[in-house]
Amino acid sequence: MRGGNVMKIPKPVSKRLSMYYRCLEKLKDEGIDVVSSKELAERLDIKPSQVRKDLSYFGEFGKRGVGYHVDFLIENLEKILGIKEEWNIAIIGAGNIGRALSNYVGLREKGFKIVAVFDKDDGKVGKEIAEGIKVLHIKDLDRVVKEKNVKIGIIAVPANVAQEVAEALEKAGVSGILNFAPIKIKASIPVEEVDISSSLRTLTFEIIRKHSTKGKK
Amino acid sequence: MRGGNVMKIPKPVSKRLSMYYRCLEKLKDEGIDVVSSKELAERLDIKPSQVRKDLSYFGEFGKRGVGYHVDFLIENLEKILGIKEEWNIAIIGAGNIGRALSNYVGLREKGFKIVAVFDKDDGKVGKEIAEGIKVLHIKDLDRVVKEKNVKIGIIAVPANVAQEVAEALEKAGVSGILNFAPIKIKASIPVEEVDISSSLRTLTFEIIRKHSTKGKK
CB-hemisphere CA count at 13 Å for B88? Answer: 13
**Which residues from A are below 8 Å from B212, CB to CB?**
2-3, 6-7
**Which parts of chain A sit beneath pLDDT 70?**
1-12, 15, 58-65, 212-217
pLDDT of residue B131: 92
Task: Answer whether B185's CB lies under 8 Å from B166's CB.
Answer: yes
Contact A178 B203 (CB under 8 A): yes
**Which residues from B are below 8 Å from A212, CB to CB?**
2-3, 6-7
Contact A212 B3 (CB under 8 A): yes
C-alpha closest to that of B34 among B53, B16, B61: B61
How many angstroms separate the CA atoms of A106 and B197, rounded?
Answer: 8
pLDDT of residue A3: 39
**Which residues from B are below 8 Å from A194, CB to CB?**
194, 196, 199
Instruction: Give yes or no for B161 touching A (CB within 8 A).
Output: no
**Which parts of chain B sit beneath pLDDT 50?**
1-7, 215-217
**Which residues from A are below 8 Å from B153, CB to CB?**
none
Instruction: Give yes or no for A33 touching B (CB within 8 A).
Output: no
In our burial notation (b when 16+ CB lie closer than 10 A, e otherwise), range B63-78 reads eeeebbebeebbebbe
Instruction: Give yes or no for A182 touching B (CB within 8 A).
Output: yes
pLDDT of residue B202: 83
If one counts every other C-beta atom within 10 angstroms of the C-beta of residue B118, the result is 27
pLDDT of residue B81: 78
pLDDT of residue A2: 39
Strand ranges inside A70-149, DSSP E: 87-92, 112-119, 128-130, 133-137
Contact B208 A81 (CB under 8 A): yes
Instruction: Give yes or no for A3 touching B (CB within 8 A).
Output: yes
Strand partners of residue A90: A116, A153
Instruction: Give yes or no for B53 touching A (CB within 8 A).
Output: no
What are the structural domains of chain A? 2-81 (1.10.10.10), 87-196 (3.40.50.720)
